[in-house]
């Protein structure tokens, strides 16, 4: 709520006033001051209002003070909202202080340093350990969803161990990566942060505007997420134990046809193909199209629910022991964690073991050093293999087991539809990824002279990752063929070495100056190897003895290296904390670019004005903070893979008779002139705290123009190349972000507060060298990726037969809009359908507390965007062969416009892609949390210093038209698609796992 300076001013003011005060008769008041968790708060200030009489609480939080009976006591502590109490006739006054959420003295981490919140000039969102820890999450990024303005986090489905996709302020670049830079304890990370245990994190800061990110130069154009892990503090050693256990349940069921529905669907598909008489079903007609097992099922009313057989109630659990503490010279934080997420699909789970040791040691009064070390090991099953697809497609009229209970490998005569239960027989399928990570941030700091210090940071990062895949003979993939296996290995070594010099000085008690200079190198070295075989002699060998296989079907290795050399300088200057100025310049050189374009410079400037400190507001009772920030700067993006400036050959295989004849042919057109992509951002922000900080937050507006976009440019294939990477065009992102926290009710022990985060980002292509580019799907004025296809406007109805015929269709088939009105449907009728960029997204957290109880719920929604559901591609073929989503299809007696008539003479419906576009808007209840804090006394009784128990429900509801009307699973999609899976931007993966809701119970105990 207020800075110390402000507090001091007030004390002086009080002093002046008190001179004329007449002393009344005093009474002795004593009591204990507690913090929000009920722990005694030592060092808190107690002041008789309007006097200089004051004291501080002792180590046990106790105080004694004398005050006139009509006196008012003011209790305060840095970081906490002051409380005023009238003495009256009480002699004991206990007080609970609650943290001031808008605490302006709070120190936040910025790139290469820290700053007080009140001194920030850039746009930064913070998420603290409280938010991170109230969710049972696998990946720290999940905690950012709906909690940090301007940060768009998506995670489709529920595959355990899957990483969410994060986009900060939209996408700028056409090229693959719009991924922000993650910096853990000062080290820019390459290769994912999934190994980081969220419970070790104390805060995450998201740097958004150019002023904040420019110090990361070419790395920062997609925003920067700074992750800081917990460190020890001097004092008593605290041992904490945190655990939760929960049940994962499938949220709703995927609705495919049951037996009778499937039978009717199959009949209808034959009616359309004129293989089944119109009108009601007859046993004779059924006999002609159904096989014996199907007829038997129809007669018995029998139906097999295959999807149910592949799902289970999974569990999610985490156990963590942390020890922190320290002496005058050494502080430490050590933790060990076991985390396991067992998915609702039987073969999918993720287990992670992490160990962290963060140690700081002061060698002498000038030199200190420290380390943050993470050792992590994880196992992930079922990343690449999902048996649910086969179950959704399986004919429900078949039976999976014979009378003796033996599995029937082919439940029906359909040779492609093997028993989905065969996939989950132990040993039939194996898809295990093991990941080993050692991540270090080691530093040494030398305080050369007052204000001047030198810091050396070294961050070696080792990752070994191995995926083993085994597919046995009795599976759908092999269908009785020989077993296959493969091993994919990755070995990565990355290091960062940084020299940082910083100087801080205050002149004339008013002029504060801080200068930071940096030199940094980073090098990445990735080695990959892969082997795949066919014909594993004994299936029990899995993928552990591939050399015994009868055939090697693939073998390869690869090496990818890049390096980056950077220099950076930053000046922070402020006058009396009132007028703030920051200027930054970074120079980056990247090995990925040609010699001519290797180095580039990224400058930024920012101004801040603490209006609330101006005289005209200084005495305002209602405005605690009002700060205007403006920043402007440019940052680069080296968003190309290494080696793209070069013309390279691609390998081919051939043979003369049986003599291998491997070849090389032109594969990429080099582009030595590739240069940095540059994003220029203008940001204006307003930070405010009003009404005694009952309402505080910030409002941001920004415009980012990105030019020289690195983009794949499709080329007509007749030149021998399908495209190349080039610098092209310009995009713009502009948007508004609001972070708002309100203290709605604070009455006695009851507190209700709300956090709201809102962002609206408009992503737009501003210019392209040759105007709209249909081949690349880029259109000026539209987002970076859009859906451009034929548009379904209904189903041809019986009374439209002639018109349908003129378009080459018949009633019951999809009616496509004849966009160019030329009387025919062809690619000229493709049109802009929508994009996966939401109009806006928001998250609201409501928190209630009463005495030891607390309750919160978190709602998140994305509004106004389109998705393409590849989940529907395979599961909604309407071909009358495989099972299908239970959609409302057309029949002569059900003239719907929803879905076309099933037809046996098709593998999928004509114009099937037009039925894959859906409104993606959703609202999710992400989390409901209910907890109880035991009072210190109660905790003490069982030998603890603190105890909290809680229970939470994750994602109990998803409200979305895509789910309720179209049988989809989860409309949350990756905006940029998935690498290497063929899943494009905004597309629902065909392989998605069911949405999950989890019920967890947890405990936090301190010793």
Beta partners for residue 778, in sequence order? 773
What is the four-CA torsion angle of 590, 595, 596, 597, rounded to 10 degrees? Answer: -20
The one-character DSSP state at 806 is H
Q: What is the CA radius of gyration of the chain?
A: 32
Give the SS3 label for residue 754: strand
165 touches 177 (CB < 8 A) = no
Least distance CB 565 / another protein (angstroms): 5
Other Cβ atoms less than 10 A from the Cβ of 149: the count is: 27
CB atoms closer than 10 angstroms to residue 381: 21
CA 628 to chain centre: 29
Closest CA to 71 of 34, 31, 27, 32: 27
Give phi and psi for 872, each to the nearest 5: -80, -25
Identity of the residue, 60 or 548, whose beta carbon is nearer to another protein in the bound complex: 548
Tell me the C-alpha distance between 336 and 319, whole Å: 8
Q: Which residues, at least 6 apart from 553, have a Cβ–Cβ distance to it below 8 Å?
A: 484, 532, 533, 534
Residues 6+ apart with CB under 8 A from 147: 127, 131, 755, 757, 843, 845
Instruction: Round to whole Å and give the CA distance between 129 and 126.
Output: 10
Tell me the DSSP string of 526-537: EEEEEEEEE--S
Helix axes 292-300, 259-272, angle to 10 degrees: 130
Token pair of 268 as six digits: 């209808």
Tokens of 680: 């220029």
The smaller minimum CB distance to another protein, of residues 562 and 858, is found at 562
Residue with tokens 């552990």: 544
The DSSP annotation for 201-227 comes to EEEEEEE-SHHHHGGGGGG-TT-EEEE
Cβ closest to another protein, residue 807 vs residue 832: 807
Q: Report the C-alpha gap between 433 and 352 in whole angstroms.
A: 12
End-to-end CA distance of the chain: 32
| Residue 204, CA distances (Å) to 8, 126, 592, 715, 860 in order | 31, 6, 30, 42, 19
Q: Which tokens belong to 940?
A: 């003490």
DSSP 8-class letter at 538: S
Distance CA 682, CA 687 (A): 17
User: What is the b/e burial string over 278-295, where b = at least 16 CB atoms within 10 angstroms of the residue's CB?
Assistant: eeebeeebbeebbeebbb
CA 510 – CA 5 distance, rounded (Å): 12
In whole angstroms, what is the distance from residue 620 CA to residue 693 CA?
A: 13
Over 78-137, what HEC string results?
Answer: CCECCEEEECCCCCECCEECCECCCCCCCEEEECCEEEEHHHCCCCEEEEEHHHHHCCCC
Distance CA 310, CA 517 (A): 57
Residue 398: CB minimum distance to another protein, A: 13
Sequence-separated (6 or more) residues with CB below 8 Å from residue 57: 32, 33, 40, 41, 42, 43, 44, 46, 63
d(CA 266, CA 882): 9
Q: Both tokens of residue 624?
A: 């605690």
SS3 for 609?
Answer: strand
Query: Of 831, 835, 834, which is closest to residue 790 (Cα–Cα)?
Result: 831
List the structure tokens of 449.
Answer: 């002279």
């Amino acid at each position: 709520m207020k800075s110390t300076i402000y507090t001091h001013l007030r004390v002086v003011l009080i002093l002046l006033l008190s001179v004329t005060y007449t002393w009344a008769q005093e009474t002795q008041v004593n009591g204990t001051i507690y913090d929000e968790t009920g722990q005694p708060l030592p060092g808190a200030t107690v002041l008789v209002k309007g006097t200089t009489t004051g004291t501080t609480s002792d180590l046990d939080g106790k105080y004694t003070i004398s005050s006139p009976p009509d006196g008012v006591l003011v209790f305060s502590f840095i970081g906490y909202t002051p409380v005023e109490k009238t003495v009256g006739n009480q002699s004991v006054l206990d007080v609970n202080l609650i943290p001031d959420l808008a605490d302006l003295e709070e120190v936040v981490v910025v790139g290469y340093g820290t700053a007080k919140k009140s001194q920030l000039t850039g746009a930064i969102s913070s998420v603290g350990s409280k938010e991170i820890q109230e969710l049972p999450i696998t990946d720290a990024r999940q905690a950012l969803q709906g909690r940090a303005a301007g940060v768009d986090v998506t995670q489709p489905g529920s595959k355990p161990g899957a990483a969410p996709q994060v986009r900060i302020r939209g996408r700028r670049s056409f090229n693959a990566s719009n991924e922000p830079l993650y910096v853990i304890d000062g080290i820019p990370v390459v290769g994912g942060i999934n190994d980081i245990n969220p419970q070790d994190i104390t805060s995450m800061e998201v740097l958004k505007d150019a002023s904040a990110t420019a110090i990361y130069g070419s790395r920062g154009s997609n925003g920067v997420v700074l992750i800081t892990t917990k460190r020890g503090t001097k004092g008593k050693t605290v041992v904490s134990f945190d655990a939760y256990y929960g049940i994962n349940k499938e949220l709703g069921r995927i609705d495919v046809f049951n037996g009778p529905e499937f039978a009717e669907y199959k009949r209808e598909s034959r009616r359309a193909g004129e293989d089944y008489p119109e009108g009601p079903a007859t046993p004779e007609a059924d006999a002609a199209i159904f096989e014996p097992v199907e007829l038997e099922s129809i007669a018995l009313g029998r139906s097999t629910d295959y999807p149910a057989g592949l799902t289970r109630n999974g569990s999610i659990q985490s156990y963590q022991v942390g020890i922190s503490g320290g002496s005058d010279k050494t502080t430490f934080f050590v933790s060990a964690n076991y985390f396991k997420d067992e998915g609702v699909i039987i073969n999918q789970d993720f287990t992670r073991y992490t160990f962290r040791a963060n140690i700081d040691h002061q060698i002498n009064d000038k030199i200190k050093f420290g380390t943050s070390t993470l050792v992590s090991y994880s196992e992930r099953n079922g990343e690449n293999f999902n048996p649910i697809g086969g179950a959704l497609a399986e004919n429900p009229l078949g039976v999976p087991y014979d009378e003796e209970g033996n599995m029937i490998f082919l439940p029906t005569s359909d040779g492609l539809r093997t028993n989905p239960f065969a996939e989950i027989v132990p040993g039939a399928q194996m898809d295990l990824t093991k990941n080993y990570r050692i991540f270090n941030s080691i530093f040494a700091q030398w305080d050369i002279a007052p204000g001047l210090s030198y810091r050396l940071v070294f961050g070696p990062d080792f990752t070994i990752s191995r995926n083993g895949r085994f597919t046995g003979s009795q599976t759908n993939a092999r269908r009785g063929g020989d077993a296959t296996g493969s091993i994919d290995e990755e070995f990565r070594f990355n290091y960062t070495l940084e020299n940082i010099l910083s100087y801080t000085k205050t002149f004339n008690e008013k002029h504060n100056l801080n200068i930071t200079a940096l030199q940094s190198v980073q090098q990445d070295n990735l080695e990959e190897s892969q082997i795949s075989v066919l014909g594993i002699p004994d299936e029990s060998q899995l993928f552990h003895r591939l050399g015994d296989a009868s055939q090697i079907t693939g073998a390869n290795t690869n090496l990818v290296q890049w390096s980056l050399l950077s220099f950076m300088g930053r000046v922070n200057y402020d006058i009396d904390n009132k007028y703030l100025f920051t200027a930054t310049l970074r120079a980056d050189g990247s090995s990925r670019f040609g010699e001519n374009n290797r180095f580039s410079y990224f400058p930024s400037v920012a101004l801040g004005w603490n209006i609330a400190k101006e005289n005209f507001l200084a005495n305002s009772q209602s405005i605690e903070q009002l700060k205007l920030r403006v920043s402007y700067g440019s940052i680069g993006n080296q968003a190309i893979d290494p080696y793209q400036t070069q013309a390279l050959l691609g390998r081919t295989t051939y043979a003369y008779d049986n003599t291998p004849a491997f070849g090389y042919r032109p594969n990429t057109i080099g582009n030595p002139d590739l240069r940095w992509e540059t994003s220029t951002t203008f940001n204006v922000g307003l930070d405010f705290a009003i009404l005694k900080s009952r309402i505080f937050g910030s409002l941001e507006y920004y415009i980012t123009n990105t030019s020289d976009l690195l983009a794949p440019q499709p080329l007509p294939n007749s030149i021998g190349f399908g495209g190349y990477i080039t610098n092209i065009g310009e995009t713009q992102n502009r948007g508004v972000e609001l972070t708002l926290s309100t203290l709605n009710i604070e009455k006695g022990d009851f507190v209700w507060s709300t956090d709201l985060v809102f962002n609206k980002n408009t992503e737009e292509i501003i210019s392209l060298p040759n105007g709209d580019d249909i081949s690349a799907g880029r259109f000026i004025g539209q987002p970076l990726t859009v859906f451009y296809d034929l548009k379904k406007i209904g189903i041809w109805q019986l009374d439209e037969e002639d018109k349908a015929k003129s378009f080459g269709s018949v009633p019951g088939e999809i009616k496509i809009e004849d966009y160019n009105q030329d009387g025919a449907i062809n690619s000229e009728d493709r049109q802009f359908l929508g994009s996966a960029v939401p109009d806006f997204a928001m998250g609201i957290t409501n928190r209630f507390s009463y005495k030891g109880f607390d309750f919160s719920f978190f709602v998140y929604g994305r509004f106004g965007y389109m998705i393409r559901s590849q989940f529907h591609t395979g599961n909604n073929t309407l071909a009358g062969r495989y099972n299908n989503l239970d959609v409302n299809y057309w029949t002569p007696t059900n003239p719907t416009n929803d879905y076309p008539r099933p037809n046996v003479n098709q593998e999928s419906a004509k114009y099937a892609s037009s039925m894959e576009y859906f409104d993606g808007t959703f609202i999710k209840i992400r989390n409901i949390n209910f907890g109880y804090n035991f009072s210190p006394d109660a905790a003490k009784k069982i030998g603890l210093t603190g105890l909290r128990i809680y229970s939470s429900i994750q994602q109990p509801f998803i409200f979305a038209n895509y789910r309720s009307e179209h049988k989809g699973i989860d409309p949350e999609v990756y905006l940029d698609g998935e690498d290497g899976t063929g899943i494009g931007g905004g597309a629902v993966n065909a392989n998605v796992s069911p949405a999950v809701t989890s019920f967890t119970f947890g405990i936090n105990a301190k010793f």
